[in-house]
Amino acid sequence: MIPPSIQAGILFLTSATAVNIFGARLSDIAALLFLLFLLPLRSNSNTQERSIASAFLLLLLAIFTSFYFQLLNSDSELILAGLPNATAIPFGIILALFFLDRCRGQRAVGIASSYCRITLLICWILFIWQLLIGQPEWITPGEVEGRFSALSNNPNQLALFLLPIPFFSLFSYMKGTKGRTSVIFEIAAAVLLNFFIIGKGLLVSWALALMFLMLSGCKLEGTIRATLNFVLTRSLLVSIFVLAISPIAFLLFTGNAPGSQEGQGSIRLSLWKNGIEAWAEAPILGHGPGHYSGLERPYSGMEAHNFLIDWGSAYGLFGFLSLLLLLLLFFANAFKKEKWIIFAFYIALLAQITFHFYGRQPAFWLWWAFGFIFSMTNSNGAANKLRQLEAIPINDESELPSRAAKSQHLH
């Protein structure tokens, strides 16, 4: 059986869209390897996993239906332009399905825990290398000056692979596989690295997730007792936080922040508007795989830089509602299981796709699957028993030795 650390390394290599080996992208090879390493694992699905799997299959049906009508009604040039999406998106969904079916909680936690260390280690080594020596010749990213992208074609792709690190690290801590110092170090390293990526959408996504956790009383899991005092205090804290980050949001929208285009906010609004116009002309089944927005008008072959708009224009209302159902199931499961750290993770993912289209990245679909598996996983059993033991009042001094022995055993 493949160790989780190896799987974690391969998972990060799915970000290597700027590295080619014998004419093939390393990211594609890594995604295929990740799938192959899942095959030997035993299938062990449950009812809740089958409901998620059904939603994924409905999503695949929507994609293939739109593609079928595109083949019937569109010219060959449009079909070829959408072919990367027609193949990469179904592969990512199928990979997530296999992961849900074959990967159990403990292995998923092991992969996630190792993923944080491996991703940060490789990224920081590459960053220092580029700073001191220059860009390695075997990495050929797109032309995005002044922004670090590691092995990815552009920094926005790398941001997707950096996004889960704080949540994976915290969940590993909850499971007892990582210490508090490691968690603080990994989160700090990820946030600092994002300043060199200049991942503006990622910064907003993390901020929204943090706001949610602040509203929950920074409770990562378990029942939240929302008294009036609790609600007022948390609302005040969030209000202060929003006021503090408002200047940053303004700079991002106007394009005055480092790494931003001039008038970036208005550019995105134009892309969103033209993407919606393209969707309105094929509302039910969409235009088929591809991108149909543009700066000046629709059908310029550009992404709307909004996952939901890009998805709707490609796969229509059928595809949009199928996607919405899938996302609602993920959020509902995290809410039902009272896994607030996973709920916050989903908020960050949803916020990130407001600014970018990640459907072609297998990791995007895998992150939702990771969250689902984590939401189905109990916290560290020994830690829970210890907390329960320490909470029981002592009525007799004779209980002290046995209590101490049990506590020592659990530690």
Task: Show the domain range for 111.
Answer: 4-224+338-379
Name 24's bridge partners. 21
The pLDDT of residue 4: 92
The pLDDT of residue 10: 97
Higher pLDDT, 296 or 310: 310
If you average pLDDT over residues 191-200, what whole number do you get? 90
Q: Show the 3-state SS of the chain.
A: CCCHHHHHHHHHHCCCCCCEECCEEHHHHHHHHHHHHHCCCCCCCCHHHHHHHHHHHHHHHHHHHHHHHHHHHCCHHHHHHHHHHHHHHHHHHHHHHHHHHHCCHHHHHHHHHHHHHHHHHHHHHHHHHHHHCCCCCCCCCCCCCCCCCCCCCCHHHHHHHHCCHHHHHHHHHHCCCCCHHHHHHHHHHHHHHHHHHCCHHHHHHHHHHHHHHHHCCCCCCCCCCCCHHHHHHHHHHHHHHHHHHHHHHHHHHHCCCCCCCCCHHHHHHHHHHHHHHHHHCCCCCCCCCCCCECCCCCCCCECCCCHHHHHHHHHHHHHHHHHHHHHHHHHHHHHHCCCHHHHHHHHHHHHHCCCCCCCCCHHHHHHHHHHHHHHCCCCCHHHHHHHHHHHCCCCCCCHHHHHHHHHHHHC
The pLDDT of residue 391: 42
In a domain, 176, yes or no: yes
Lowest mean pLDDT among 60-74, 109-123, 249-263: 249-263
If you average pLDDT over residues 4-16, what whole number do you get? 96
Beta strands at 20-21 and 24-25: parallel, antiparallel or unpaired:
antiparallel
Residue 99 has pLDDT above 80, yes or no: yes
In a domain, 299, yes or no: no
Place of tokens 């699957």: 369
Residue 60 has pLDDT above 90, yes or no: yes
In a domain, 177, yes or no: yes
If you average pLDDT over residues 255-278, what whole number do you get? 75
In a domain, 135, yes or no: yes
Higher pLDDT, 148 or 81: 148
The pLDDT of residue 262: 55
In a domain, 260, yes or no: no
Query: Of all residues in the chain, what percent carry a pLDDT higher than 90?
Result: 58
Total domain count, the chain: 1
In a domain, 408, yes or no: no
In a domain, 308, yes or no: no
Q: pLDDT class for 252, splitting at 50, 70, 90?
A: low
If you average pLDDT over residues 331-344, what whole number do you get? 95
Residue 333 has pLDDT above 80, yes or no: yes
Higher pLDDT, 386 or 272: 272
Residue 85 has pLDDT above 70, yes or no: yes
If you average pLDDT over residues 331-347, what whole number do you get? 95
The pLDDT of residue 26: 96
The pLDDT of residue 403: 47
Higher pLDDT, 292 or 253: 292
Residue 65 has pLDDT above 90, yes or no: yes
The pLDDT of residue 387: 40
In a domain, 281, yes or no: no
